[in-house]
């Protein structure tokens, strides 16, 4: 239902105005800013897709294109056939929710207030949140195991708790597609496992379509059913995990020789990095 057809995008050049106001500035990336080149992919309902690639490969850009925050210079992104650029913001937000990598609150909000922010697409400009909205927000917090924190100040939470609250806020949008950008980037192992379990549960129980951008192989292999390997803004391979994640693709993607096997016990692909291959 969410498709990208031959989508290309480059930073710094002429752009069509997108919904977002702060595009990545060149200083956010050490090398040349990543672009997206002729990427095509198709995501169906209920999929759990990982966009995998090293830093700077354009994962976040692709995610933002999929979410309609950026408009592609070429090609189009469509949701159920309609280009996302033509869907009004609120309507799109009721279908697609995005959880960015990090959340820095400029001011001090309580957890329930952050969760309620997810109700924005459902309310008119001057409409105040009603009991139903509050229930939905609380439910979302409960789904992420943060209901007990609802009166706490967001700033006082741990990294893992913050991430879960932000996910709850995205869930409160009642969207059926969830885009996650590097959800485990600043979390330690315990939280990583927690988030993976949470996302898997949401995908299973709520039939949430999930797209996760990550560079973490372990996270990708433990969670996703299919992968899109992104190298320098172009698709290297796409498909079920076992098919796409091979020694060859990992070598090509990360410049690392690795041992790739399917672990029967864990029912997942495991990757053991062996050595770095010097650049050609």
Partner 1 sequence: MRSVRQRLAGWGLVFGLLALAAVAGAPLIGSTRISLARAFDSAVPFADNVDAQIFFIARLPRVIAGAVVGACLAGAGVVLQALLRNPLATPFTLGVSAGAALGAVLAISLKLQLSLWGVSAVTGASFVGSIGAVAIVYALARARHRGFSTNVLLLAGVTLNSFFSAVILFVQYLSNPADTIQTLRWLMGDLGIASYTPILAALPMAAFAFVAFAWLPRALNLLSLDADAAASRGVNVVRVQQVAFFSSSVATGAAVALGGPIGFVGIIVPHLIRLLVGSDHRVVLPISALAGAAFLVACDVVARTAMAPVELPVGIVTAIIGGPFFLWLLIRKR
Residues forming contacts to partner 1 in the complex (CB under 8 A) are 14-23, 25, 64, 67, 69, 88-94, 96-98, 100, 103-110, 112-114, 117-118, 120-121, 123, 125, 128-129, 150-151, 166, 170, 173, 179
- Report, in Å, the least distance between residue 19 CB and partner 1: 4
- Please, is 157 exposed, middle or buried when counting C-beta atoms within 10 Å of its C-beta (0-12, 13-18, 19+)? middle
Give the number of C-alpha atoms closer than 13 A to the C-alpha of residue 198, restricted to the C-beta side.
Answer: 27
**What is the nearest approach in angstroms of partner 1 to the Cβ of residue 17?**
6
Q: How far is the CB of 175 from partner 1 (least distance, A)?
A: 9
Q: How far is the CB of 103 from partner 1 (least distance, A)?
A: 6
- Cβ distance to partner 1 smaller for residue 181 or 236: 181
Phi and psi at residue 38, to the nearest 5°? 50, 50
* Whether 180 contacts 25, CB under 8 Å: no
Per the DSSP assignment, residues forming a β-bridge with 39 are 7
Q: Which is nearer to partner 1, 94 or 206 (CB)?
A: 94
Long-range CB contacts (within 8 A, 24+) of 82-87: 85/16, 85/18
Which DSSP category does 153 fall into?
B
Nearer to partner 1, 88 or 278 (CB): 88
Closer residue to partner 1, CB minimum distance, 171 or 227? 171
Nearer to partner 1, 137 or 253 (CB): 137
Shortest distance in whole angstroms from residue 173 CB to partner 1: 6
Q: Which residue has the tokens 């996910």?
A: 167
Cβ atoms within 10 A of the Cβ of 83, count?
Answer: 14
């Amino acid at each position: 239902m969410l498709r990208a057809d031959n989508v290309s995008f480059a930073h710094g050049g002429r752009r069509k105005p997108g919904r977002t106001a702060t595009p990545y500035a060149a200083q956010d990336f050490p090398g040349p800013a990543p672009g997206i080149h002729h990427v095509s992919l198709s995501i169906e309902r209920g999929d759990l897709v990982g966009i995998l690639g090293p830093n700077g490969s354009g994962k976040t850009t692709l995610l933002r294109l999929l979410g309609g925050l950026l408009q592609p210079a070429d090609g189009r992104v469509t949701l159920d056939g309609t280009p996302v650029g033509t869907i009004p913001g609120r309507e799109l937000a009721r279908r697609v929710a995005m959880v960015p990598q990090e959340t820095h609150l400029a001011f001090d909000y309580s957890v329930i207030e952050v969760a309620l922010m997810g109700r924005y697409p459902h309310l008119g400009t001057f409409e105040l949140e009603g009991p139903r909205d509050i229930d939905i927000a609380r439910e979302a917090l409960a789904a992420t195991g943060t209901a007990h924190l609802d009166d706490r100040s967001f700033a006082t939470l741990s990294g893992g708790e913050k991430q879960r609250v932000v996910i709850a806020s995205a869930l409160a949008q009642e969207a059926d597609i969830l885009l996650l950008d590097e959800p485990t980037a600043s979390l330690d192992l315990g939280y990583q496992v927690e988030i993976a379990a949470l996302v898997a549960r949401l995908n299973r129980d709520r039939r949430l379509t999930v797209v996760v951008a990550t560079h973490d192989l372990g996270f990708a292999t433990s969670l996703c059913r299919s992968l899109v390997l992104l190298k320098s803004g172009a698709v290297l391979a796409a498909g079920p995990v076992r098919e796409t994640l091979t020694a060859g693709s990992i070598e090509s993607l990360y410049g690392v020789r690795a041992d790739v096997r399917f672990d029967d016990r864990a029912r997942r692909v495991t990757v053991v990095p062996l050595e770095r291959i010097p650049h050609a």
